[in-house]
Amino acid sequence: MSEKIFLCSICNINSGTCNEDCKFCSQSVRYKADIERYKQKPIEDIQKEALAAQENGALGFCLVTADKGLTDKTLDFVCEVAEAVQKTAPKLRLIACNGTATLTQLKTLKSAGIKAYNHNLETSEAFYPEICTTHPWSERYETCQNVNEAGMVLISGGIFGLGESQEDRVSMLESLASLSPTSVPINFYHHNPALQLSPNPLKADEALELIRLTRAMLPDAQRIMVAGGREMMFKERQGEIFEAGANSIVIGNYLTTAGRAMHKDLEMLASLGLEVATQV
């Protein structure tokens, strides 16, 4: 495989304050998961994380907020952070992930230097009411359409292992394909005991098969990214995700769970003979 691997780092600039009831999400205030919660991460801390990501070869840096969607206040904060990060780590390509967003809000983010927007469909339209009752799947889909209309790069994927059927997985991938995302993040549900869902039933072989299926059903996507749950799902078999079709990973910590040290991922890629992408 000659493809280079795109590294992305995510930064939870606001954590654990969401009122929605997504059953897989420890950031909902409803489930009282034992996680760090804060309204706004100090900008200096975000700049330090951005610099570390840049120094470890990340090209993408994603500013994530925990809420259903953008409010005026959140929009101002994300734009302020974006400007500060561009000064500290100018090589990073900025991504925002702030829930549902209107076309006007997305254009404001774009003017602040944010190139891409991440909003996942999470699962199929049919299964979605089983995992969230406070907002509809259609709002998710519409936000993704807004991202395309705003002329931003769309990053949209989902999460496997919530109790969905194979039919649901195929349906989600078909919906994603209809949006033509540039990057498709695949997450594997990482169980937290405070959540009501059962632990992820998928085995590594099945998860690898889902990466292959994603690659096959989204042949035009530039990147299939394995994001949350990678270490938990694949353990010592993480190298196999690239043979299965992934060409992007999240390095460093996830939103509420620890990833492994960035240098370990760089060592893994080097041992597999894979190069890190240095441009988008």
What is the nearest approach in angstroms of ligand SF4 to the Cβ of residue 63?
14
Site for ligand SF4 contains 269 (CB under 6 A): no
Tokens standing for residue 211: 């990466």
Residue 39 makes contact with ligand SF4 by CB under 6 A:
no
Judge contact between 46 and 61, C-beta under 8 A: no
User: How big is the chain by its Cα radius of gyration, in Å?
Assistant: 17
> Token pair for residue 104?
């006007």
Cβ nearer to ligand SF4, comparing 29 with 51: 29
Binding mask 90-119 toward ligand SF4 (x if CB under 6 A, else -) reads ---------x--------------------
Pick between residue 15 and residue 183 the one whose CB is nearest to ligand SF4.
Answer: 15
Q: How many residues bind ligand SF4 (CB under 6 A)?
A: 9
Q: Using CB under 6 A, pick the residue from 11, 13, 22, 95 that binds ligand SF4.
A: 22
Tokens encoding 207: 């998860």
256 binds ligand SF4 (CB under 6 A): no
Cβ-contact 178, 139 below 8 angstroms: no
- Asked if 187 is part of the footprint of ligand SF4 (rule: CB under 6 A), the reply reads no
Of the residues 7, 10, 25, 213, which one makes contact with ligand SF4 according to CB under 6 A = 25
User: Is residue 85 within 8 Å of residue 46, measured between CB atoms?
Assistant: yes
| C-alpha to C-alpha distance for 154 and 185, rounded to whole angstroms | 11
66 to 95, contacts with ligand SF4 by CB under 6 A? 66, 68
In the complex with ligand SF4, which residue's Cβ is closer, 95 or 262?
95
Phi, psi of 49 (to 5 degrees): -65, -40
Kindly state whether residue 27 participates in binding ligand SF4, applying the rule CB under 6 A: yes
Query: Which residue has tokens 């994927």?
Result: 157
- Interface with ligand SF4, residue 143, by CB under 6 A: no
Pair 24, 195: CB distance under 8 Å? yes
- Residue from 5, 18, 58, 226 touching ligand SF4 (CB under 6 A): that is 18
Name beta bridge partners: 186.
158, 226
The number of beta carbons lying within 10 Å of the beta carbon of residue 116 is 23
Q: Which amino acid is at 231?
A: E
Q: Is 159 in the site for ligand SF4 (CB under 6 A)?
A: no
Q: Which residues bind ligand SF4 (CB under 6 A)?
A: 18, 20, 22, 25, 27-28, 66, 68, 99
